A = this chain, B = another copy of it.
Amino acid sequence: MRRLRKVAVIGVGLIGGSLALALRRAGFAGPVAGFDRDRGALERAVALHAIDEIAESVSEATRGAELVVVAVPVRAIGSVLHDVGLALDAKAVVTDVGSTKAEVVEIARHELRERFPRFVPGHPIAGRESSGIEAATLDLFKGARVVLTPVAETELKATDFVRAAWEAAGARVSTLSAVDHDRIFAAVSHLPHFLSFALVSEIASRPDSADLFSFAAGGFRDFTRIAAGDPAMWRDVLLANREQVLQQSQAFRAALSQLEASMSAGDSQALEDAIAAASAARARWQPGAGLSLD
């Protein structure tokens, strides 16, 4: 594939910065222009060779770019896409990296209007416990899964283009409907976070929480690692996907009630069967090779 004339990365954090590094290394991107509200992040991105030029605005970054990657938190996507829409070349393709998709699709439809068919919603299943441009690496997406959720209007060529970019960065790309995406990630990502937040905030609120934490060990450590997530980011993800998360939470409650009932009744067989089903499923499952933390 020819090297692109210009790529714009809006938001040079862990995801935007790592994608820029990987696209440059793969020879997919020529010059990369970056924009971020945090000027320091932009300067560090230049120093780390993630981007070539600092743009002074979303519009400036967008102008002349063949590919615009919007790698900002979900809450900022609307205003960024608005500015992108004002400056976008007629043939340019836009993608995002948000971890919920149905809401983003509606925002993009509204903000990009006649350019919406060249917007390809995306979600790389990668992340680290650390964030920011300093944590960006060339190989963050090597072997990672990326989900694209094109809609009926999305141009096939646009989807293929964004797929090629992610594959150049080493990712394995799947497509799903936005609704399926949001349902699946509500179950395997948003709900686990939600439960971990509920457990840890409840324990932290008790008068004897210091005692409780002092006896917690490895099982608690693993189960609650995701409770240390960024509050503003997770607030937005949960609210953006709230219907699906609430539905998944209901399904979880029903399973919990059943386990509680088995325990109350002293039905050791039913309790063991449920634990055995969980244990076997968990032991069978291994996250895909190269997958990082989501």
B-contacting residues of A (Cβ < 8 Å)?
125-127, 145, 147, 184-185, 187-189, 191-205, 209, 211-232, 234-235, 238-239, 242, 245-246, 249, 251-256, 259-260, 263-264, 266, 268, 271-272, 274-283, 285, 287-288, 291-294
Please name all residues of chain B whose beta carbon is closer than 8 Å to the beta carbon of A287 when the two chains form the complex: 216-218, 220-221
Residues of B within 8 A of A278 (CB): 196-201, 204, 227-228
When distances are taken between beta carbons in the complex, the residues of chain B under 8 Å from A227 are: 278-279, 281-282
Q: Which residues of B contact A213 (CB under 8 A)?
A: 188, 281, 285
Within the complex, what minimum Cβ distance (angstroms) separates A166 from chain B? 15
Other-chain contact of A242, B214, B232, B264, B280 (Cβ < 8 Å): B264
CA distance A194 to B222 in the complex (A): 14
* A200 close to B245 (CB less than 8 A): no
When C-beta atoms are compared, the residue in chain B nearest to A208 turns out to be B184
Which residue of B is nearest A229, CB measured? B279
Given contacts A219-B192, A228-B279, A285-B213, contact A239 B294 (CB under 8 A): no
